[in-house]
């Protein structure tokens, strides 16, 4: 009993640095603090939340980043007849387009998969890796040689265990559905920040270098981080027992990392492509929308560009979430750019206003000009899970393997959705907790 109390006390005294205050980093920090660990979150920007960014103005509420907690498995297409035979290693780098074309035909790729991946990742079916973009579906074919057989066996296995889901099953709660929060998605990260003090959440603090030095007698406080803030440009150092890195890999490559007093080169990290996206918020009076559509929104297939449609898609924000606009207005969130139209994402607000209004006129019969418009540009909205993305994952794994106490989380590793980003942060926190507990045991914790 006494040894347990001593171990808890020593474990809680340990310090963890979290680099990045996006949803992954904040989720990791929340879990670490709930375990009694001391946490410092470093964020280079002047606000926490990362890509979750909500705005309230003139009676309107909108999100300039992720709009929902949304998960979809393309369930209706799992049950179509497939000609797939046993999967070979050649399919490990198969594109999303090739995978679904092989199973369901080109029409499904053109009118379902293409607009879906454009709307959720700003990518296109031919450039995205199936293995990393849809790992659950890819895994079914890898394990069973068939999506249909895999889905059937997963469901039957789930029934036998009477648990609703198994490790390999297509989870019921991941089939479809979306939700947000009163006030927008930023409410989530605001809540995660609520209990963090200024000493724990360090905004405008850019990490300059990280150094790992293994002590001969102890594994404690082996990490040193130096950072600079807007108020104090001088490098400031702090010591930690573990590090969770959630910064984009393009930023990680700019950091100086040392191991045992020697530079730890990061040239093994491949270049990651990022998709630019402009988010356009518009409102129209309801009487000026002649064909109002129900549902969550509309996604535009790329081959519809020949018919003059240039946007990736539009969310019907005020239909999904009535608190977003007054009763007499429709509020729409439209996305432009991505891999389909990279240059168009950088267009001026006036040009994008014309493009969005034209598309909405064609799709829903809007008349006149929007009563409100807001434009926000993300130069690096999403990392592209390209066909060579396995090399990116391998680079992340190498960092974690070669740097004791270093763990990576975020949408470069485990998926682009908000839910997967949260799960990635929580998993990294679990790994840190296990690492610190094992390190404590190696240091020779009292057993009697």
Q: How is 104-166 classified by DSSP, letter by letter? A: H-HHHIIIIIHHHHHHHHS--TTTBBHHHHSHHHHHHHHHHSSHHHHHHHHHHHHHHHTSS--
State the Cα–Cα distance between residues 222 and 238, nearest whole angstrom. 11
State the Cα–Cα distance between residues 406 and 55, nearest whole angstrom. 34
Least confident of 35-39, 95-99, 266-270, 290-294: 95-99
Least confident of 25-34, 53-62, 136-145, 325-334: 136-145
DSSP state for residue 92 in the 8-state scheme:
G
pLDDT beyond 60 at 85: no
pLDDT beyond 90 at 331: yes
pLDDT in tens, 391-432: 999 999 999 999 999 999 998 887 878 888 888 999 999 999
Tell whether the torsion through CA atoms of 71, 75, 78 and 81 is positive or negative: negative
Helix (H), strand (E) counts: the chain: 16, 19
What percent of the chain shows pLDDT beyond 90? Answer: 46
Q: Pick from 375, 278, 377, 372: which is nearest to 331 by CA?
A: 372
Q: Give the residue, 168 or 438, on which the prediction is more confident.
A: 438
State the Cα–Cα distance between residues 237 and 226, nearest whole angstrom. 4
User: Tokens representing 244?
Assistant: 């969770």
pLDDT beyond 70 at 223: yes
Q: What pLDDT, on the 0 to 100 scale, is given for residue 448?
A: 36
pLDDT band at residue 156 under the 50/70/90 scheme: low
Q: What pLDDT, on the 0 to 100 scale, is given for residue 152?
A: 52
State the Cα–Cα distance between residues 317 and 331, nearest whole angstrom. 6
Secondary element (H or E) of residue 26? helix 23-34
Reported CATH class of domain 2-48+187-271+389-442 = alpha beta
* Alpha helix positions (H), 35-95: 75-78
Q: Pick from 71, 70, 87: which is nearest to 150 by CA?
A: 87
Whether the Cβ atoms of residue 319 and residue 294 lie closer than 8 Å to each other = yes
pLDDT beyond 50 at 307: yes
pLDDT beyond 80 at 91: no
Q: Give the residue, 180 or 216, on which the prediction is more confident.
A: 180
What percent of the chain shows pLDDT beyond 70? Answer: 74
CA distances for 27 relative to 31, 222, 244, 388, angstroms: 6, 24, 11, 29
Whether the Cβ atoms of residue 188 and residue 181 lie closer than 8 Å to each other = yes
Q: What pLDDT, on the 0 to 100 scale, is given for residue 148?
A: 53
DSSP state for residue 366 in the 8-state scheme:
B
Question: What is the maximal distance between C-alpha atoms in the chain?
Answer: 79
Q: What pLDDT, on the 0 to 100 scale, is given for residue 245?
A: 98
Least confident of 6-20, 69-83, 290-304: 69-83
Q: What pLDDT, on the 0 to 100 scale, is given for residue 417?
A: 81
Which CATH code for domain 275-379?
3.90.660.20
The superfamily CATH assigns to domain 72-81+97-171 is protoporphyrinogen ix oxidase, domain 3 (1.10.3110.10)
Q: Where are the domains of the chain?
A: 2-48+187-271+389-442, 72-81+97-171, 275-379
């Amino acid at each position: 009993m006494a040894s347990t109390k001593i171990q808890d006390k020593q474990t809680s005294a340990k310090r963890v640095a979290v680099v990045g205050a996006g949803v992954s980093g904040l989720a990791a920090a929340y879990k670490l603090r709930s375990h009694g660990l001391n946490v410092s979150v470093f964020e280079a920007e002047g606000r926490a939340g990362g890509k979750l960014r909500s705005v309230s103005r003139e009676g309107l509420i909108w999100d300039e980043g992720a709009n929902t907690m949304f998960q979809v498995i393309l369930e209706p297409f799992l049950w179509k007849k497939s000609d797939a035979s046993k999967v070979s290693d050649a399919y490990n780098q198969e594109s999303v387009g090739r995978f679904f074309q092989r199973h369901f035909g080109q029409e499904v790729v053109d009118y379902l998969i293409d607009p879906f991946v454009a709307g959720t990742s700003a990518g296109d079916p031919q450039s995205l890796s199936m293995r990393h973009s849809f790992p659950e579906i890819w895994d079914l074919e890898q394990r069973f040689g068939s999506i249909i057989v895999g889905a059937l066996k997963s469901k039957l296995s789930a029934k036998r265990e009477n648990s609703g889901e198994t490790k390999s099953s297509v989870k019921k709660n991941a089939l479809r559905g979306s939700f947000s929060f009163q006030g927008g998605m930023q409410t989530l990260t605001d809540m995660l920040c609520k209990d963090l003090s200024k000493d724990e959440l360090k905004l405008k603090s850019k990490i300059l270098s990280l150094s790992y030095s293994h002590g001969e007698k102890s594994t404690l406080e082996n990490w040193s981080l130096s950072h600079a803030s807007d108020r104090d440009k001088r490098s400031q150092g702090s010591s930690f027992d573990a590090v969770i890195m959630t910064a984009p890999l393009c930023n990680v490559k700019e950091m100086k990392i040392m191991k045992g007093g020697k530079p730890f080169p990061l040239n093994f990290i491949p270049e990651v492509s990022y998709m630019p996206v402009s988010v356009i918020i518009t409102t129209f009076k309801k009487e000026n929308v002649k064909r109002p559509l129900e549902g969550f929104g509309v996604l535009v297939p790329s081959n519809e560009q020949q018919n003059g449609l240039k946007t990736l898609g539009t969310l019907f924000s005020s239909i999904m979430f009535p608190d977003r606009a007054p009763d007499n207005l429709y509020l729409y969130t439209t996305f432009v750019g991505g891999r389909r139209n990279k240059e168009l994402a950088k267009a001026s607000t006036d040009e994008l206003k014309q493009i969005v209004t034209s598309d909405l006129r064609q799709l829903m019969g809007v008349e006149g000009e929007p009563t409100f418009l807001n434009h926000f540009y993300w130069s690096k909205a999403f990392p592209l899970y390209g066909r060579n993305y396995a090399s990116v994952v391998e680079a992340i794994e190498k960092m974690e393997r070669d740097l004791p106490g270093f763990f990576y989380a975020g949408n470069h590793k485990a998926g682009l959705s908000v839910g997967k980003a949260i799960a990635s942060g929580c998993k990294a926190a679990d790994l840190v907790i296990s690492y610190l507990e094992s390190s404590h045991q190696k240091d020779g914790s009292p057993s009697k």
